[in-house]
Structure 1
């Protein structure tokens, strides 16, 4: 697999309302673990749309992984200025990440015009990638269900890899075990 899309929940869908929330570190660890596996198998590009939450956290993970691995990240928002209604802190984060991505290109010129832009974004990302990694709980799919539907309806075989709550529990335990005080 050369190109993977990564997507998942927005922060409010996870009841995360501050960028300092410690759960973000666990989510990023789960994403990192999956990405490293794929990078070691030949992954070259990670695609995101830049939505807040899992996608921006993925961008941060990939940028950290670039120090050790040959991996690139591309951000394809559905339209220009998608972040204008976000909290200021997230707007700044989005703009910083967009500036340092290896490739950045909104799919539609201009501001938001309708829900069709989100549907087109999902279909485009599925079409341009070999598979996806999704942070998703089947019982509570949230806004992920729209991307998941596009992925399952792909004409070509499309691989869907899910990071589950159990995977995040494993990441929490791994991070605890990395702490030297854990073993005392």
Structure 2
């Protein structure tokens, strides 16, 4: 797989409303672990739409991994122009840092928000132009990622399109690893 679309829950779906929430680091560690494994299998591009939540954290994780992996690239392909326009200043700053460090930034539609159709166009474009999906999603906690997962499953019925999930169980494993590390350091 040369390119992977990374998506998942919006921050609000996870009850995360602060950039300092401890859950963000756990999610980023899980993403880095999976992305690093994919890099070892030939991954070159991580693609996100820059949505506030898992996607921006995946972009941050990718930027961090780029220091270790010279061939890794990040693309931010938004559904419309200025999607961050109504975000808080700290979120806008993070978004700006990410887009400045990305290797490619573009919008699927060349206009500001005009309607939900832009999200549908984004999803179709991203699924059509990637080799697989890395999804932070748990079947037990239904949310917005359900829709792109269903589209990816339909696509996987017509061509090879792996869907890799990071679940609540995977995140809990990261928490337990960290607790064990702290225990052994003492």
Alignment TM-score > 0.5, same fold? yes
SS in structure 1 opposite 2:16? coil
Matches within 5 A, 1:57-72: 57-69=57-69, 70-72=71-73
**What's the TM-score once normalised by structure 1's chain length?**
0.95
Equivalent residue in structure 2 for 1:156, among 147, 159, 171: 159
Instruction: Answer yes or no: is 1:92 the counterpart of 2:93.
Output: yes
What is the CA RMSD across the aligned residues, in angstroms? 1.2
Distance in 1 (alpha carbons) for counterparts of 2:74 and 2:180? 30
Structure 1 moving runs of 4+ over 3 Å:
181-184
Q: Residue in 1 aligned with 2:102?
A: 101
Stretch deviating more after TM superposition (84-93 or 158-167): 84-93
Instruction: Answer yes or no: is 1:74 the counterpart of 2:60.
Output: no
Q: Residue in 1 aligned with 2:174?
A: 171
Per-residue Cα deviation, 1:87-146 (whole angstroms, up to 9, x for no partner): 221112112211110100111111011111101111111111110110001122211112
Per the TM alignment, residue 183 of structure 1 is displaced from its structure 2 partner at its CA by 4.7
Task: Give the gaps of 5 or more residues in structure 1.
Answer: none
Matches within 5 A, 1:114-153: 114-153=115-154
Distance in 2 (alpha carbons) for counterparts of 1:36 and 1:174? 17
SS in structure 2 opposite 1:153? helix
Distance in 2 (alpha carbons) for counterparts of 1:101 and 1:68? 15
Distance in 1 (alpha carbons) for counterparts of 2:105 and 2:180? 37
Distance in 1 (alpha carbons) for counterparts of 2:87 and 2:184? 38
Alpha carbons 1:135, 1:163 under 8 Å: kept: yes
Alpha carbons 1:122, 1:146 under 8 Å: kept: no
Distance in 1 (alpha carbons) for counterparts of 2:34 and 2:51? 20
Q: Residue in 2 aligned with 1:5?
A: 5
Q: Residue in 2 aligned with 1:24?
A: 24
Alpha carbons 1:7, 1:55 under 8 Å: kept: yes
Distance in 2 (alpha carbons) for counterparts of 1:132 and 1:93? 24
Distance in 2 (alpha carbons) for counterparts of 1:182 and 1:18? 30
- Between Structure 1 and Structure 2, how many residues are aligned? 183
